């Protein structure tokens, strides 16, 4: 039996940073990862694979411009799908190597296998070769989440897919039904549409991504429809099944997915991607042996220091719920390690940027118009369109906009929302401005490199100030 100051379960963003921070403090640390490769969900099935696929698809999608017909592009798409997978694999492999290198150079022991509690301080690791027993003064749970797979849906990884399955597809479907218009569903729906797949997106609510600025979502929905996507909003799926391909249908596997809607409609496609909900991957942990429980979605409740009800057991990342971002998970892991070993540290900033890697991408930071209205905070909006920015013309990305929300009296920037190429990078200027209570006048007077998308801030600020002046 080996003893450690800290045993970390999971090697995703939260686990990595908790382990490395503890090692930097001179503690003996180990990381347990159930997969053959480190990196957790973020590197193996989630953030990095989906973004790598997105970038590869965008590069392939540019070929459609050179194809004289849609049929030509379809053949190109099919021929290059294996290249897409190879491109993604290279990115994932590089990320895995980086994570493992960072862990090992900090003298962190790595174990591969499924970890479960024998008692509050003891972990049993079931690997392919042997059973390993570890003891930790502290234990950090960072197991992430997994797709919620409702009973009655025959997930087969070919025709009926979860969000994890899509990474292992061997060929692009000719048509795809996406159930769920949250972040994951919207991202994959727009990616596949860009690849030339005929996509139908079903969402039970009246619009996609309800937490995002309504104007941006209107723009995204309009753009998606213009690209050929069918949006079924306010619709609920009652039954999902696999059927034999109907005569004349183009399929990859000789079968089709059929979705029956509450409204009586029946939809069919080459494949169906189910993206409604994720749950904490805590089923195998044996939490009861540590005196812990998870909620009905597998999440572990923690306090502001990421401590569970057992003071020596911490948890962070997606397994504790909101905001469930890779960026916040990194910071949660670091803060957890600092707290458990008595190192003073500030709590994580509540000013968080959000990035949605749809096509086009969306990003936001600070207040939304809806929140400001609900709180009766007087504001004005300033808008800059990519179509009036030289860099937008150079990129061929005239679809896009940045919106700045300005306090009517103090002129302090309250929120920034962007849609279009580079939005997730562009948003950090707004994040800094809000953090330091910058006013719109700062952006009016600032000089930006020309031509850059950053000029959107100047144009949006001038637009907002002109509205406030009534000109």
Instruction: Tell me, yes or no, whether 353 lies in a domain.
Output: no
pLDDT tens-digit series, residues 216-247 = 999 999 999 999 999 999 999 999 999 999 88
Please check whether residue 55 lies inside any domain of the structure.
yes
Q: Are residues 228 and 285 in the same domain?
A: no
For 205-214, what is each residue's pLDDT tens digit? 999 999 999 9
pLDDT tier at 78, thresholds 50, 70, 90: low
| C-alpha closest to that of 297 among 145, 142, 164, 184 | 145
Structure tokens at 417: 């929302």
Q: Kindly state the average pLDDT of the residues 136-162.
A: 94
Structural domain boundaries, residue 308: 2-146+279-340
Residues 270 and 323 in one domain: no
Confidence of residue 67 (pLDDT cuts 50, 70, 90): very low
Distance between first and last Cα of the chain: 75
The vertex-15 CA angle with 14 and 19, nearest 5°, equals 120
DSSP output for 58-84: HHHHGGGGT-SSHHHHHHHHHHHHHHH
User: Do residue 396 and residue 460 come from a single domain?
Assistant: yes
Of the pLDDT bands very low, low, confident and very high (cuts 50, 70, 90), residue 170 is confident
Query: Residue 279 pLDDT more than 70?
Result: yes
Supply the pLDDT for residue 65.
44
Q: 260 lies in a domain?
A: yes
Residues 76 and 139 placed together within one structural domain of the fold:
yes
The pLDDT value recorded for residue 327 is 93
Q: Of 276, 292, 310, which residue sits at a domain end? A: 276
Which SS3 state, helix, strand or coil, does residue 1 take? Answer: coil
CATH number at residue 138: 3.50.50.60
| For range 201-205, the mean pLDDT | 97
Question: Is 233 in the same domain as 377?
Answer: no
**Mean pLDDT over residues 105-128, rounded?**
96
Give the helix/strand (H/E) hosting 441.
helix 440-445
Are 7 and 140 part of one and the same domain?
A: yes
- Whether 385 shows a pLDDT value over 90: the answer reads yes
Structure tokens at 160: 């009926």
The percent of residues above 90 in pLDDT, for the chain, comes to 80
Band of residue 79 on the pLDDT scale cut at 50, 70, 90: low
Which of 276, 294, 309 is the C-terminal boundary of a domain?
Answer: 276
- Asked whether residue 153 is assigned to any structural domain, the reply reads no
Tally of domains in the chain: 3
């Amino acid at each position: 039996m080996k003893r450690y100051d800290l045993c970390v379960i999971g090697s995703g963003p939260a686990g990595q940073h908790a382990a490395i921070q503890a090692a930097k403090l001179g503690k003996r640390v180990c990381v347990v990862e159930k997969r053959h490769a480190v990196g957790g969900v973020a590197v193996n099935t989630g953030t990095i694979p989906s973004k790598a696929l997105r970038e590869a698809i965008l590069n392939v999608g540019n070929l459609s411009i050179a194809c004289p017909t849609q049929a030509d592009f379809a053949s190109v798409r099919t021929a290059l799908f294996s290249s897409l997978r190879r491109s993604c694999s290279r990115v994932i492999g590089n990320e895995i190597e980086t994570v493992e290198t960072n862990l090992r150079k900090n003298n962190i022991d790595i174990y591969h296998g499924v970890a479960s509690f024998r008692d509050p301080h003891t972990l049993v690791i079931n690997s392919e070769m042997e059973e390993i027993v570890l003891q930790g003064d502290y234990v950090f749970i960072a197991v992430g989440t997994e797709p919620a797979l409702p009973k009655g849906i025959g997930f087969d990884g070919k025709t009926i897919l979860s969000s994890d399955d899509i990474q292992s597809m061997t060929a692009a479907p000719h048509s795809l039904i996406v159930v769920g218009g949250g972040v994951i569903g919207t991202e994959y729906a727009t990616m596949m549409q860009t690849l030339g797949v005929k996509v139908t997106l079903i969402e039970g609510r009246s619009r996609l991504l309800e937490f995002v600025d309504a104007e941006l979502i209107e723009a995204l929905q309009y753009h998606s429809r213009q690209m050929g996507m069918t949006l079924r909003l306010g619709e609920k799926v009652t039954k999902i099944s696999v059927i034999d391909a109907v005569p004349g249908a183009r399929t990859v596997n000789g079968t089709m997915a059929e979705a029956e809607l509450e409204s009586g409609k029946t939809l069919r496609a080459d494949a169906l991607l189910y993206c409604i909900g994720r749950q904490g991957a805590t089923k195998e942990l044996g939490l009861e042996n540590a005196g812990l429980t998870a909620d009905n979605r597998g999440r572990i409740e923690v306090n502001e220091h990421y401590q569970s009800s057992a003071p020596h057991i911490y948890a962070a990342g997606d397994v504790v719920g909101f905001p469930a971002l890779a960026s916040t998970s990194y910071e949660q892991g670091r803060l957890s390690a600092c707290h458990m070993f008595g190192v003073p540290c500030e709590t994580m900033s509540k000013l968080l940027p959000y990035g949605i890697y749809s096509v086009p991408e969306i990003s936001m930071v600070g207040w939304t118009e809806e929140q400001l209205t609900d709180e009766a905070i007087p504001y004005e909006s300033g808008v800059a369109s990519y179509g009036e920015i030289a860099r937008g013309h150079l990129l061929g990305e005239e679809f896009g906009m940045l919106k700045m929300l300005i306090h009517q009296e103090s002129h302090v920037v309250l929120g920034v929302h962007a849609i279009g190429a580079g939005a997730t990078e562009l948003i950090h200027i707004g994040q800094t401005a809000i953090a330091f209570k910058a006013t719109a006048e700062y952006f009016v007077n600032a000089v930006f490199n020309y031509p850059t998308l950053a000029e959107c801030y100047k144009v949006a600020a001038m637009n907002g100030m002109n509205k406030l002046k009534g000109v």
